[in-house]
């Protein structure tokens, strides 16, 4: 083969080699999946002529991001770039909690925090969650404290809570976290249902 003929051949081989390197070196495209929390408490058929104020509700700030969080140990959290929340986790949590209370109690109305000072509430519910993620052992945990107050802002009930469910895939985790909120909702509903009627 002449030198003149060899030059185009070498150029073609070099181009193929560079293209192959590009394919090998190209970063993997991440196609995330998006998840939401749902109300899964039973529909009891109950109705109550009450107005419930829901909030404030707080979550740890390390959960305030799109990716699902997983605890590696007491001091380390990792985030899954392929499993994301479809909206603000706090907003979704609050909506699921409210929907669960509707299914359990059938209140006349639920008002989310903040509300107008003129709002006539029969009960208000505040929740401060300290954990709401997958733990190092694979389980899902929801822990924190809730307080129910009556229309005079007197405390009806206050509880420290800690609920767990088995974890697994992101799909299973979203479902398990929804179940944890339902368990929380049942405890809060029971406190309101057993509260003595507040004086006008």
Which residue in 187, 135, 191, 188 sits closest to 164, CA to CA? 135
Please enumerate, as own/partner, the contacts of 163-167 that have beta carbons within 8 Å and a separation of 24 or more.
164/135, 164/139, 164/140, 165/139, 165/140, 166/138, 166/139, 166/140, 167/134, 167/135, 167/138, 167/139, 167/140
pLDDT attached to residue 30: 76
> Structure tokens of 92?
């979704």
Which residue in 174, 184, 176 sits closest to 104, CA to CA? 184
- Is-contact 100 40, C-beta < 8 A? yes
pLDDT attached to residue 4: 55
In degrees, rounded to 5, the angle at the alpha carbon of residue 126 between the alpha carbons of residues 121 and 127 is 155
pLDDT attached to residue 197: 67
Whether this prediction's pTM lies above 0.75 is answered by yes
CA distances from 50 to 36, 127, 164, 195 (A): 28, 19, 31, 13
Helix residue ranges, H only, the chain: 3-25, 89-105, 170-193
Enumerate residue ranges in the chain where pLDDT < 70. Answer: 1-28, 197-200
Burial class (CB in 10 A: 0-12, 13-18, 19+), 4: exposed
- d(Cα 19, Cα 165) in Å, to the nearest integer? 49
DSSP code of residue 44? -
pLDDT attached to residue 17: 55
Q: Which residue is listed with tokens 């929907």?
A: 99
- Is-contact 50 124, C-beta < 8 A? no
Q: Which residue is listed with tokens 């339902």?
A: 182
pLDDT attached to residue 29: 77
pLDDT attached to residue 1: 52
- Is-contact 51 116, C-beta < 8 A? no
């Amino acid at each position: 083969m002449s030198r003149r003929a060899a030059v185009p051949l070498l150029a073609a081989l070099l181009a193929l080699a560079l293209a192959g390197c590009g394919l090998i070196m190209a970063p993997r495209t991440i196609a995330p999946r998006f998840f939401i929390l749902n109300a899964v408490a039973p529909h009891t058929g109950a109705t109550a002529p009450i107005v419930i104020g829901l909030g404030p509700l707080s979550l740890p700030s390390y959960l305030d991001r799109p990716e699902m969080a997983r605890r590696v140990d007491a001091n380390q959290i990792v985030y899954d770039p392929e499993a994301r929340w479809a909206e603000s986790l706090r907003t979704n949590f609050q909506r699921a909690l409210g929907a669960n209370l509707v299914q359990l109690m059938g209140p006349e109305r639920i008002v989310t925090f903040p509300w107008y000072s003129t709002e006539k509430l029969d009960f208000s519910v505040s929740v401060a969650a300290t954990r709401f993620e997958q733990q190092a052992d694979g389980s899902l945990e929801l822990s924190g404290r809730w307080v129910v107050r009556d229309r005079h802002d007197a405390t009806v009930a206050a509880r420290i809570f800690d609920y767990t469910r088995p974890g697994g895939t992101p799909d299973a985790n979203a479902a398990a976290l929804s179940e944890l909120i339902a368990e929380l909702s049942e405890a809060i509903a029971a406190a309101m249902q057993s509260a003595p009627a507040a004086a006008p």
